[in-house]
Amino acid sequence: MKAHQIVLEWVTNELRSGRLRVGDHLPSERTLSQSLEVSRSAIREAFRVLEVLGTIRTSTGSGPTSGTIITATGEQGLSLALNLQIATRQVEAYDMVQLRILLETWCATNADPALGDWDAAEQVLNRMDDPALDIPTFLRLDTEFHVICSSAANNPLVSIMMDALRLSISDQTQTRSHAVENWDDLGAQLRSEHRAILQALKNGENELAASQLEQHITGYYERTA
């Protein structure tokens, strides 16, 4: 095992055991180097990996916010991995469609109307009604709406996955939008579908919302072929 992997394994085990929690400070490079018997350069290499993954945040200076702190924003690392797979063409467009259907219809089926942030979803849809909105902004808001709706299932892991997919979904929908000749008509249809999905979720009509979501996701894919 490489030296920096020893550090990564130690951090993982400490988090798993509960000895380290979100908001805790990691020991200094010198302390970890001595206790784990690895070089300080290995500590720094492991810290760089953890920072890219969103597990830690490192800042200089003094005070409670300085040093190396556990943040555990897991969606950052997952999003990076997904986007790299897509960028290297390991994932095709329809693979993303299938994953979205799997996750989003499950979320709709298991949504609790009392737990949904419907005001936030409504605000996003209201912003999407602006006729002056450019397509990239419209589609970023579109993705945000889907992420908000998925949170009503109250499953933290699925929420992390949906948040991690945010950039990938937005990028893919924007790329496919270039094939659309009449965006005004498609935009109007998407807005109508969003409103229907939101209403079904608010009413607790979970199966209807799941069906609408599947048609909505596959429909955009087909209309932008």
Average pLDDT rounded to a whole number, residues 51-71: 76
pLDDT above 80 for 52: no
- Tell me if residue 154 falls in helix, strand or coil: coil
Say if residues 72 and 22 touch (Cβ distance below 8 Å).
yes
Percent of all residues in the chain with a pLDDT value above 70, rounded to a whole number = 89
pLDDT in tens, 153-168: 999 888 888 887 888 8
Both tokens of 16, joined, read: 């798993």
What pLDDT is recorded for position 161? 85
Phi, psi dihedral angles at 12 (to 5 degrees) = -60, -45
pLDDT in tens, 70-82: 886 656 667 667 7
* Whole-number Å distance between alpha carbons of 93 and 111: 27
What pLDDT is recorded for position 149? 97
Average pLDDT rounded to a whole number, residues 212-220: 97
pLDDT above 70 for 65: no
Say if residues 65 and 54 touch (Cβ distance below 8 Å).
no
Task: State which amino acid sits at residue 204.
Answer: G
Q: What global pTM score does this model have?
A: 0.73
Average pLDDT rounded to a whole number, residues 171-176: 89
pLDDT above 70 for 89: no
**pLDDT band with cut points at 50, 70 and 90 for residue 87:** low
* Whole-number Å distance between alpha carbons of 150 and 153: 6
Say if residues 93 and 221 touch (Cβ distance below 8 Å).
yes
pLDDT in tens, 108-144: 999 999 999 999 999 999 999 999 999 999 999 999 9
**pLDDT band with cut points at 50, 70 and 90 for residue 104:** very high
Please give the mean pLDDT across all residues of the chain: 88
What pLDDT is recorded for position 73? 63
Domains of the chain: 3-70 (1.10.10.10), 75-223 (1.20.120.530)
Beta bridge partners of 57: 69
- The span from the first CA to the last CA of the chain, in angstroms, equals 47
